[in-house]
A = this chain, B = another copy of it.
Amino acid sequence: MTMTSLNETHDPALRSWVDSANAPECDFPIQNLPFAVFRREGGEEEWRGGVAIGDQVLDLEALQRLRPFIGLAAEALEAASLPWLNEFMAMGQSAWSALRLALSRALRVGASGEADFVHCLVPMSEVEYGMPCVIGDYTDFYSSIYHATAVGKLFRPDNPLLPNYKWVPIGYHGRASSIEVTGQRFHRPQGQTKAPDAGQPSFGPCQRLDYELEMGIFIGAGNELGVPVNMAQAESHVFGLCVFNDWSARDLQAWEYQPLGPFLAKSFASTISPWIVTLEALQPYRHAFVRPEGDPQPLPYLDSDHNRLSGALDIELECLLQTPAMAEQDQPAQRLSRSSFRHSYWTVAQMVTHHTVNGCNLQPGDLLGTGTQSGPAPEEAGSLLELTCGGKQAITLANGEQRTFLEDGDTVVMRGVCAKPGLPRIGFGEVSGTVLPLRQ
């Protein structure tokens, strides 16, 4: 089953009996219904699946004990109530859609089950989030041509955008074990670096610690090893998206990355936002995927009418920084840049199809990072490396502090949202992470 159209769950006129979901600035209206794994903070409760509605989390484990649904929606609810969403993800689009429809109907103003459902709500302010699933493999793409060009200029001034870029959705295998959910606090990594003029490398703490503003794509139903997923099927294998911070140690990266790619520069930490927004919820924000004039068309295996007409997703992204000094003075995080996933040179479907064209199997819960989503303007860059021109031009913050790269105690916050006049706001919430000093 491939989704190509809107259905009753997308109706902008829908309102929920959960009042907070109807506020115009709410990330989680009834048209969104993203999934997470959560529990009440501070306790020893079991982790379980939940759905965001307004400022509440609908506890799917509590809900499924009420047996509110029948058929596929009931089966999907049971799987989505578990401490890991892998089983639910594996069920595929028809199950995800059935549960979404059932939840949408139950949460609408006037729904008959309100009296029961209301007891399954937990205030979002009282919960903590877990990893939504076991991530078997994590792959990171490099899908912003603006990021690739800007970074290429720094690493290879004479050869910024390599000849394969406009043909191959460049990606590499990443480290799954060090991915955590929002709130990750990690020690500054250490490793080998070599200054351009040094005769040999030295060992010490990373001096050029950076973030990367990405989207994360969660695979739903997998494909069998040896059986590629074509463009027509690709989106049916995608469960949903989150916001993703792929922390990077630029000085480690510069010294280690040739010839086999980034390794320790990436594997110390990566942070996902807790809520996975389904591809179905993002339907109203599809738009045409147009390549710049003069660029080659994708090879046929990466091309389809559907992809050209509506393969891109208009997800606005922003990245914010809160320094220890700002936190001490209760100043909120300050925005460093804004961008959008619509700038991606490769669509979600193209990444999935390319990934599997050699027979590689994707499994439920696998994560694909999109790569840093920098926009065309320099101020739309999704990393400090770009915003500071490789660390040469410090950013001055509102309180007078300066940054080239991240300092100990810095907290980076990223947010994503789909918002257009006349359409319901589909928010991703945020992902936050904090740099701790080098571990002694």
Contact = CB atoms under 8 A, between A and B. Distances in A.
Interface of A: 136-137, 139-140, 142, 152, 155-156, 162, 164, 167-168, 170-178, 180, 186-187, 189-192, 194, 200-203, 206, 225-228, 249, 252, 255-265, 267-269, 296, 299-301, 354-355, 357-363, 366, 439
Contact of A172 (B156, B167, B180, B260): B260
Residue of A173, A257, A296 contacting most chain B CB atoms (<10 Å): A173
Nearest to A254: B164
Contacts of A202: 299
Nearest to A187: B226
Nearest to A173: B173
Given A249-B358, A358-B191, A359-B268, A263 B137 contact: no
A201 B299 contact: yes
Contact of A170 (B137, B203, B256): B256
For this chain, the copies found in one complex come to 2
13 contacts: A137-B177, A156-B259, A162-B258, A164-B255, A168-B256, A171-B263, A172-B262, A173-B267, A201-B299, A227-B439, A257-B260, A260-B262, A359-B439
Contacts of A300: 203
Contacts of A187: 226, 359
B359 A167 contact: no
Contacts of A167: 192, 194, 200-201
A368 B268 CA distance: 17
B260 A357 contact: no
Nearest 10 pairs of A and B residues by beta carbon = A261-B261, A189-B358, A173-B173, A172-B260, A267-B360, A264-B358, A260-B261, A268-B358, A268-B359, A187-B226
Contacts of A176: 136-137, 176
Contact of A354 (B206, B255, B260, B264): B264
A193 to B, nearest CB: 10
Contact of A360 (B156, B178, B261): B178
Given A174-B173, A225-B178, A190 B260 contact: no
A227 B438 CA distance: 11
A262 B300 CA distance: 22
Given A137-B175, A190-B358, A201-B299, 8 more contacts: A164-B201, A170-B259, A178-B359, A178-B360, A200-B296, A203-B301, A252-B358, A359-B439
Nearest to A136: B177
Contacts of A142: 260
A249 B366 CA distance: 23
Contacts of A140: 260
A175 B175 CA distance: 10
A228 B358 CA distance: 35
B261 A259 contact: yes
Given A192-B299, A226-B186, A162 B259 contact: yes
Contacts of A357: 190-191, 264
A177 B268 contact: no
A267 B173 CA distance: 9
A4 to B, nearest CB: 26
A17 to B, nearest CB: 41
Contacts of A200: 167, 296
Nearest to A170: B260
Contact of A439 (B177, B226, B439): B226
A226 to B, nearest CB: 5
Contact of A203 (B178, B260, B299, B362): B299
Contacts of A301: 203
Contacts of A363: 177
Nearest to A256: B168
Nearest to A185: B226
B255 A172 contact: no
A293 to B, nearest CB: 17
Contacts of A299: 192, 201-203
A372 to B, nearest CB: 12
B177 A175 contact: no
Given A226-B187, A260-B142, A261-B260, A177 B361 contact: yes
